[in-house]
Structure 1
Amino acid sequence: MPGPLPQPLPPELLTSPEWQRACRERDFETVFRLVKVKAGIYPSRVAALCGLTPSRVGEIMSGQRRLAHIDVIERVADGLRIPGAMLGLAHRPWEVPSSAPISPTSQARSAPRDGVMGSDPDSDVEHQEELDELLSLADGKVTRSTLLALKSSVEDYWRRDDEHGGAPLRPAVVGHLRYVMEMMGSVRAPLRQDLQSLAAELARLAGWAYFDACQYSTARTYFTQALRLSHGQDDYLFMANVLSCMSLQATYEGQPSDAVALACKAQDTARAAGDQPLVMSMLHMREAFAHATLGDGSSCHQSIGRSRDAYENARDREDEAPSWVRYFDETKLIVDTGIALAKLGDCHRAEPLIAEGLRRETDAQQRGRAFHAFWLATAQLQQGRLEAACESAGFALDLSASLDSPRVAGHVREFHRRLAPYARETPVIVFEQRLRAAVG
């Protein structure tokens, strides 16, 4: 009895540049590796689906053998459901859907026009559109399905950025950006406009990933590209978001005056989109960070107040805010207020706010929690509470174990530098042991 038919490969795999290159070059070592990692099809299953022996699949995956015979390549295309065009083959028979089993309802819709039962014109149109889209995807053309798969990849990148840091995402994000930019030249509106918006978001994500890697010059290049791509889209909130990222980067670079100017420009840009209190709350906090870095206490407190007031106006209106700003919840407002106060040196007021934010945050916010734990340690050290500070910093080290974020590493180095006057104290010696174990 034949086994179940193989499932279609995931759209995000079919649209990935690495996959397309491997298929184009008939690099089956990479093809088999990717179907294992991205589609969960393990070598034994590959062998069964493609009519190969497990040992031969293993030799191909180890680079010891290559596939050259066209009949074997066709078996692989059919077994793994790889569209023929991707491997330089004709359309495979399974790429054109066969008729579905006929139920009484479907029979009424699919009977010939000259039969007793008339066909449904709307159903015919929908079927043709689905078929056209499927064949276009097999040819490597851009479809709505391609766009949805790419958007899903971007969402996954942001999730992985939160959990593990942005630095390791750079090659994949930049590759996706190049792929989308290439596709933009071969499509017409409105799909081209959607691709341009997606390219802008990928450019912002690339900028953020390079920012997290502390490669500020490259980050600015991608942030600038994101702004250029968003011109003509009238997406003022997106532009405000890019400007807010650039403001935060300027703060890290020790350019607080630029950070203030960028945060204020972001606020002006967001106002053009109408009433968006949650966005404004986040942008006022960006400005507060910049004023705190300048040591301007009065302006910093004013910005914190405006951020708090805007957040109160945003309560019960979260559904109206863009998805990218919904991370800025009450917990984030509390902890960011504490960080701004810590930057000003007001450690007594900063510590309980940061500690409360850490208590509320979830494990999914791994990088943010690591940052906040180091800021808590800094506030405690400013008060002379050496043991508590080292304990908080040790907790931050534990959180950062699964992160690849040079920004977090920078906080580790800065905190360690501040411990220099206490190098002979027991809490510092214990912390340095933990630090050596972590970096080793």
Structure 2
Amino acid sequence: MIGACRARDFGCIFKLVKARAGIYPSMIARRCDLTPSRVGEVIAGRRQLLHMDVIERISDGLHIPGHMLGLARRAWEAPAGLTVTPREPAEERIPPDEPLVAALPGADVDSVLALTAERDLSPSTLDALHSSIADYWRRDDEHGGETLRPAVVGQLRYVVDLLKEQRPAPFRDGLHSIAAELARLTGWTYFDARQYNQARAYFTESLALAKTIGDHTFMANVLACMSLQATYQDKPGDALALVSAAQDQARAVLGTTPRVLAMLAMREAFAHATLGDQDATHTAISEAHTHFGRITTGDPDPAWVAYFNEPKLIADTGIAHGRLGEAALAEPLIADALRREDQASHRGRAFHAVWLARTQLQRGKLDEACHTAMDALVPAAAVSSQRVVGHLREFHAQLEPFRREPAAVAYEARLRDVLPGRVSGSPRP
């Protein structure tokens, strides 16, 4: 590997990571933001990778230290000069007149306390961890996940640490399930922050944890998240491949609930719509509604799919039509979903309001579109979500031809007042 990196022989590098780390070409492509065909050509020796931005993506995607590829130290590497060497403890000297500051316990204290802490698990312990995840999701939906992320990552590390000890099979499976959920939640917070490489890394970790215990339904859930991310990255082919894999996982399980199948069918519709395939999009939408119509009280739905209720189905149907440019079909659906949506769901309301504004603008309803976009600003200000801000920026740019119209001027002023600094500059095409 050292020799291959020195020569920047990426064909050899890709073969080594497949043979030694089990990272197959399709995974290399996803991690390094390359197409599978391009990875295949490199492995076959028909293509060379010379551009620095591509080499940096490979370094980050495969976690190859920068110096091995002739790059600067990567952001995820340990700080330069950080070494750990055995030494005698030195007495800490405090400069005179410097006030003592209370500090949080560090890793050393945590390690000491871990030796005396009770590590026995009970069903109530697993229930408590699941409850905390449900609370994290609620707070993420209301306020965004950026401030939650340190707590979620900390709990993920704690659960992974518990897995290092010998446990009875039921507890071990339960911990794997919890760790998979925490990794997916972490990936989601990075996705919502538009930090796609980090999101993909955590989604991949979640997928591996779920695979360890054969939880095919949860694997389908993670793959569906990755498919949605691919639509945001303008990779519709990847989005379709990922959601197809998700549906395969769901079908492998007897008793997958109609709500899960409906959610997956709608993600398929998003992928087809991003590809511009009208017939396939309409077919997938129809399948989503058919599955949803089969939901009955008492279905053993996983907790993670509870969000996919009727207003969400209607909103997503409208968004799929909107992605196809079918604004006349999209507008009434999204408007109806907004009227029925939970007021506490700030991100969802902001997101759907922006989509409604975009469809109204497509239909030539400038005044209505600007008014709807103003309604989106209040929930958008209440949640930390770069994904929502990105949609606001896109709508802002779409107003360029109308920037001197009174409605657009009023929206621009309101935008700067409610979200100062988050969406700046004049609208651009």
Maintained 8 Å contact 2:377/2:419: no
Residue of structure 2 aligned with 1:269, choices 234, 244, 249: 249
Alignment correspondent of 1:168? 147
- Distance in 2 separating the partners of 1:343 and 1:193: 40
| 2-structure distance, mates of 1:324, 1:194 | 15
Alignment map for 1:300-315 (pairs within 5 Å): 300-314=281-295
Residue correspondence of structure 1 range 283-322 to structure 2 within 5 A? 283-314=264-295, 316-317=296-297, 319-322=299-302
1:65 deviates by: 6.8
- Once the two structures are TM-superposed, the CA of residue 150 in structure 1 deviates from its matched residue by 2.3
Q: Deviations 1:57-102 (Å, cap 9, x if unpaired)?
A: xxxxxx75769xxxxxxxxxxxxxxxxx98979xxxxxxxxxxxxx
Offset at residue 328 of structure 1 (A): 1.3
Question: Is the CA contact 1:167–1:406 (under 8 Å) kept in the aligned structure 2?
Answer: no
Corresponding residue for residue 415 of structure 1:
395
Query: Which residue is equivalent to 1:391?
Result: 371
CA pair 309-429 structure 1, distance change in 2 beyond 3 A: same
Alignment-mate amino acid for residue 323 of structure 1: A
Q: In 2, distance between residues paired with 1:404 and 1:184?
A: 32
Structure 2, unmatched stretches of 5+, are 1-98, 104-108, 421-429
TM-score by length of 1: 0.68
1:167-212 Cα deviation digits (max 9, x unpaired): 3222221111111111211241232222111111111111111111
Q: How does 1:228-377 map to 2 (within 5 A)?
A: 228-275=208-255, 276-314=257-295, 316-317=296-297, 319-377=299-357
State the AA in 1 paired with 2:121.
T
**Corresponding residue to 1:196 among 166, 172, 176:** 176
- Report if the CA contact (8 A) 1:377-1:393 is conserved: yes
CA distance, structure 2, for counterparts of residue 65 and residue 388 of structure 1: 55
SS at 2:140's partner residue?
helix
Q: How does 1:131-170 map to 2 (within 5 A)?
A: 139-144=117-122, 145-170=124-149
1:406 aligns with 2:378: no
Q: CA RMSD in A?
A: 2.1
Q: Distance in 2 between matches of 1:216 and 1:249?
A: 8
Equivalent-residue separation in structure 1 for 2:237 and 2:111 (angstroms): 54
Q: Which residue, 345, 361, 365 being the options, matches 1:381?
A: 361
Distance (whole Å) between structure 2 residues aligned to residue 332 and residue 262 of structure 1: 21
Distance 2:389 2:361 in 1: 18
> What code does the residue aligned with 1:242 have?
V
User: Distance between the aligned counterparts of 2:157 and 2:111, measured in 1?
Assistant: 22
Does the CA contact (< 8 Å) of 1:86 and 1:140 recur in 2? Answer: no
The residue type paired with residue 154 of structure 1 is: I
Letter aligned with residue 287 of structure 1: E
Mapped contact 1:370–1:399 kept (Cα < 8 A): yes
For the Cα contact (< 8 Å) 1:288–1:303, is it kept in 2? yes
Q: In structure 2, do the counterparts of structure 1 residues 422 and 309 end up closer, same or farther at CA, with 3 Å as the change threshold?
A: same
Check 1:148–1:277 CA distance in 2 against 1; reply closer, same or farther (3 A cut): closer
Bigger-Rg structure (1/2): 1
1:344-399: per-residue Cα shift (whole Å, max 9, x none)? 11111110000000000111222111110000000000011111000000000011
Q: 1:199 and 1:88, CA in 2 relative to 1: closer, same or farther beyond 3 A?
A: closer
Query: 8 Å contact 1:263–1:286 — kept in the other structure?
Result: yes
- Contact in 2 for aligned 1:354/1:376 (Cα 8 Å): yes
Q: Secondary structure at the match of 1:168?
A: coil
2:403 partner amino acid: A
Q: What pairs up with 1:3-152 in 2 under 5 angstroms? A: 64=100, 139-144=117-122, 145-152=124-131
CA distance in 1 between counterparts of 2:379 and 2:112 reads 47
Give the superposition deviation at 1:320: 2.2
Distance 1:66 1:431 in 2: 47
Q: TM-score, normalised by structure 2?
A: 0.70
CA distance 1:288–1:189, change in 2 (3 Å) = same
Q: Structure 1 residues 205 and 142, CA, compared in 2 at 3 Å: closer, same or farther?
A: farther
| Residues paired across the two proteins, number | 314
What amino acid does structure 1 have at the position aligned with 2:335?
A
Distance across 2 between alignment mates of 1:137 and 1:360: 51
- Structure 1 224/66 Cα, relative in aligned 2: closer, same or farther at 3 Å? closer
Q: Give unpaired runs (5+ residues) of structure 1.
A: 1-62, 68-84, 90-135
The residue that corresponds to 2:160 in the other structure is 181
Q: Comparing both structures, which one devotes a greater share of its residues to helix? A: 1
Q: Which of 173, 189, 203 is the matching residue for 1:223?
A: 203
SS at match of 1:370: helix
Give the match's secondary structure for 1:376.
helix
Is the 1:284–1:304 Cα contact (8 Å) retained in structure 2? Answer: yes
Cα separation, 2, equivalents of 1:178 and 1:86 = 13
Query: What is the distance in 1 between the residues matched to 2:326 and 2:111?
Result: 63
